[in-house]
Amino acid sequence: MSQYAKAAILVRQNTDLVIDEIKLPDKLGVGQVIVKLDYSGICGSQIGEIKGVKGHDPYLPHLLGHEGSGSITAIGPGVTTVRIGDKVVLHWRKGNGIEAKPPKYGWGKKIINAGLVTTFNTHAVISENRVTTVPRDLDSKAAALFGCAITTGFGVIVNDAELKIGDNIVVLGAGGVGLNVIQGAKLAGANKIVAVDLFDNRLEISKKFGANVTINAKICKDLKSSIVAAMADLNIDIIVDNTGSPEMIKIAYELVKSNGKVILVGVPKKGAETSIYTLPLHFGKKLHGSEGGSTSPEVDIPKYSSLLQAGKLEYNALISSVRPLDDVNDAIRDMVSGKESGRILLKLD
C-alpha cells in the first residue's frame, strides 16, 4: 500500500507552509482509516499554530487542519464505525470508534508528524474516532464546516451558554465560529443578538446569520458604551468571546448581567493575562472556557446534517472563497488581514 499525498507542511513557525508530496505509511495501524479529502476549512487554530501562539512546537515538521470532508478509501484493523466508500466529516472532537496512534508520513528522508486528524493534505491517515459518516448527498462544502466552525458555534450556544428563548447575547468576533454562534443563537430563540468585529464585511454577513445590531470595534469610540447603547435597556444574558483578546474578555466580564455567562472561545496568546474583580463570581456571574462547544460529533453532526437538508441552516454565506491547496499561504494571509470575510475552503480533490 504505497500511496502519496500532496500536503501543506508546517516546517517552521511564522513561515509559509511548504507544499510538497509526502508518503503515507506502508500499513495502517489499529483504528486508522485513509480519507481522500474533498474540502478542508482553514480555522483560527491553524493560524495560531503557524504563529506559535502556544509557544514552542515540539512536533515540527507537521501537518495541519482539523475540519474537512472526504471519503474513506481504506480501513485498518479493528475499525467498525465506518466503511470504505463512506462520505465522512473529519473533526477534531472525539467521536465514536477507536482512538488510533497518530500517523507518521515520509518526506524524502524526513519524517512528518501529524495529529489524529489533519486536513491540509489530499489523502490523510485519520483516527477512527475523528471521522463521522454523513449522507452521500450532503453538500461536501457544508460537510467540511461540520468539522469545526458550525459544530463549535452551535455547541457554544446549546452546551456551554445554554441559551434560553428570549436571551440577549453579544458575540465578540464574527469569523467562522462567531458567525455560527450567531446562527446558533438565532436558531435557539435569542431575542437581541449584537455582533462586534473589526471588519465591516464580516459584520454584513453576520446580519444574514441573525445579528440585529452590528458594531465595528475599530471605528467606534468606546466599545463598552456602544454595546450598552445597542442593548438599550436590555440585560445581557450571554457574551461569547471569539477574539481571545484580554481587553475584550475584560469588557465581556464587566458588561454581562450579574448572573450572566461569559463564554471564552478564542484563546489569548501565551502569557497574555486578563485582570478581573472576582466578587461577582460568588453571586452567580459565570466565566467559562469552551472546548469546541462540548460537541459530540456522533450526536450533533447527524442532527445538523438533517437541519441542513431541511434548508434550515445557512452556510453558503460563510464560505468567502474556495481555493486550491497551492494557494494556502495566500489564503491564510487574506484571512489574517481581514480581506476574506468568512471561512476559506481548500479544494483538495
Taking the complex as a whole, the smallest distance from the CB of residue 92 to Zn ion amounts, in Å, to 7
Q: Which of residues 63, 114, 143, 148 is near Zn ion by CB under 5 A?
A: 148
Give every CB contact of residue 15 below 8 A, 6+ residues apart in sequence.
none
Taking the complex as a whole, the smallest distance from the CB of residue 67 to Zn ion amounts, in Å, to 6
Distance (Å, whole) CA 293 – CA 288: 11
Taking the complex as a whole, the smallest distance from the CB of residue 296 to Zn ion amounts, in Å, to 16
Q: Would you tell me how many other CB atoms lie within 10 Å of the CB of residue 71?
A: 18
Taking the complex as a whole, the smallest distance from the CB of residue 25 to Zn ion amounts, in Å, to 25
CB contact burial 170-180 (16+ within 10 A = b; e otherwise): bbbbbbbbbbb
Contact 231, 194 (CB under 8 A): yes
Residue count, binding to Zn ion (CB under 5 A): 3
Give every CB contact of residue 195 below 8 A, 6+ residues apart in sequence.
171, 174, 178, 182, 203, 206, 207, 211, 213, 214, 215
Task: Pick between residue 260 and residue 266 the one whose CB is nearest to Zn ion.
Answer: 266
Give every CB contact of residue 222 below 8 A, 6+ residues apart in sequence.
none
Contact 123, 34 (CB under 8 A): yes
C-alpha cell at 8: 501543506
Only segment of 39-47, 70-78, 303-311, 325-333 that touches Zn ion (CB under 5 A): 39-47
CA angle 205, 208, 211 (to 5 degrees): 90
Does residue 69 bind Zn ion (CB under 5 A)?
no
Distance (Å, whole) CA 173 – CA 151: 17
CA angle 185, 149, 287 (to 5 degrees): 55
Only segment of 14-22, 41-49, 77-85, 324-332 that touches Zn ion (CB under 5 A): 41-49
Taking the complex as a whole, the smallest distance from the CB of residue 344 to Zn ion amounts, in Å, to 13
Q: Which of residues 9, 24, 43, 170 is near Zn ion by CB under 5 A?
A: 43
Task: Pick between residue 8 and residue 215 the one whose CB is nearest to Zn ion.
Answer: 8
Task: Pick between residue 155 and residue 280 the one whose CB is nearest to Zn ion.
Answer: 155
Taking the complex as a whole, the smallest distance from the CB of residue 245 to Zn ion amounts, in Å, to 18
Only segment of 128-136, 144-152, 224-232, 327-335 that touches Zn ion (CB under 5 A): 144-152
The site string for Zn ion over 183-212 (x = CB under 5 A, - otherwise) reads: ------------------------------
Distance (Å, whole) CA 84 – CA 131: 12
Q: Which of residues 45, 81, 206, 305 is near Zn ion by CB under 5 A?
A: 45
Taking the complex as a whole, the smallest distance from the CB of residue 167 to Zn ion amounts, in Å, to 25
Task: Pick between residue 76 and residue 153 the one whose CB is nearest to Zn ion.
Answer: 153
Task: Pick between residue 61 and residue 153 the one whose CB is nearest to Zn ion.
Answer: 153
Binding site for Zn ion (CB under 5 A): 43, 45, 148
